[in-house]
Amino acid sequence: MTETTKTHVILLACGSFNPITKGHIQMFERARDYLHKTGRFIVIGGIVSPVHDSYGKTGLVSSRHRLTMCQLAVQSSDWIRVDPWECYQDTWQTTCSVLEHHRDLMKRVTGCILSNVNTPSITPVIGQPQNESSQTIYQNNNNISSKPTAAKILGKVGESLSRICCVRPPMERFTFVDENANLGTVMRYEEIELRILLLCGSDLLESFCIPGLWNEADMEVIVGEFGIVVVPRDGADPDRIMNHSSILRKYKNNILVVKDDSNHPMSVVSSTKSRLALQHGDGHVVDYLCQPVIDYILKSQLYINASG
């Protein structure tokens, strides 16, 4: 397959990220590596979408903290960004509605007509305070390269989201933008296939099999219309899990299971283990969380006395 005939993918991970771990970041990396190895896909970006505060999970810290920790965790990545839309809504959003929001946003911002999006970015994607007087999304500057790199496209989507799709929250807002991003109004585009796939661990896939936990109509949309990339965790067997759900069996071809090292060291890392390590002063927390996140947690005194 040529680069233009491959399916271009954006990986979207929803969850508490309470806190975000090295395992979450490695999940993105493992999924991207696997999809590229199939020869059928090009991953142009990843999105971390923390859940709304009203999700009600025990021990869930404020989205203000979770967003900051997520931003710190991906600050060195040139293809993963944090999206605040879910946290900024009036109430909790279903995974289905989050996927639909991002699909609609992509259609509005890009028209799903992209070109050369597989070109590596030479500029890291960084976090910046949202500036109300920021420039128009599409500019015409013949002195700047018009190639819409993955970071450029994701940066523009994030910029547009902050500008037109988010209700202003009572906190400082951040968006991830590529400072050199410029799509160019005179650029010639070439239509390609772009898909947003839900990225998850096998534990979330297993939750699909719990009667009454998920709305069946939502499951039909998530698996049937979007598709899922599953990264196995804790030795779980995704194929066995899928056999326990009629909907998962029906759309089995839309479920891509990452087949790499089943004993990957990050497959056992979890937010729960990280919180327990913090509460007990366990030095192994450095194996679970990146240092900027640990520093932020200690500075903000998060989880230390929590029971969640």
Q: Do the domain assignments include residue 290?
A: no
Please tell me the number of Cα atoms within 13 Å of 259 on its side-chain side.
6
Q: Do the domain assignments include residue 146?
A: no
Domain that holds residue 241: 7-115+192-265
- Sequence-separated (6 or more) residues with CB below 8 Å from residue 183: 137, 138, 139, 146, 148, 152, 153, 156
Q: Do the domain assignments include residue 230?
A: yes
Q: Give the DSSP H or E segment for 8.
A: strand 7-15
> Domain holding 104: CATH number?
3.40.50.620
Q: Do the domain assignments include residue 33?
A: yes
Q: Do the domain assignments include residue 207?
A: yes
Give the pLDDT of residue 139. 27
Give the pLDDT of residue 192. 63
Give the pLDDT of residue 106. 81
Give the pLDDT of residue 124. 27
Q: What is the pLDDT of residues 87-124, one digit of tens each?
A: 999 999 999 999 999 988 887 766 543 322 233 323 22
Q: What is the 3-state secondary structure (H, E, C) of 240-253?
A: HHHCCCHHHHHCHH
Give the pLDDT of residue 133. 36
Give the pLDDT of residue 104. 85
Give the pLDDT of residue 111. 52
Q: Do the domain assignments include residue 157?
A: no
Give the pLDDT of residue 119. 31
- Sequence-separated (6 or more) residues with CB below 8 Å from residue 31: 11, 43, 199, 229, 231, 258
Split into its structural domains, the chain has a count of 1
Q: Do the domain assignments include residue 128?
A: no
Q: Do the domain assignments include residue 145?
A: no
Give the pLDDT of residue 239. 86
Global pTM?
0.76
Q: Which residues of the chain fall below pLDDT 50?
A: 112-148, 158, 160-190, 307-308
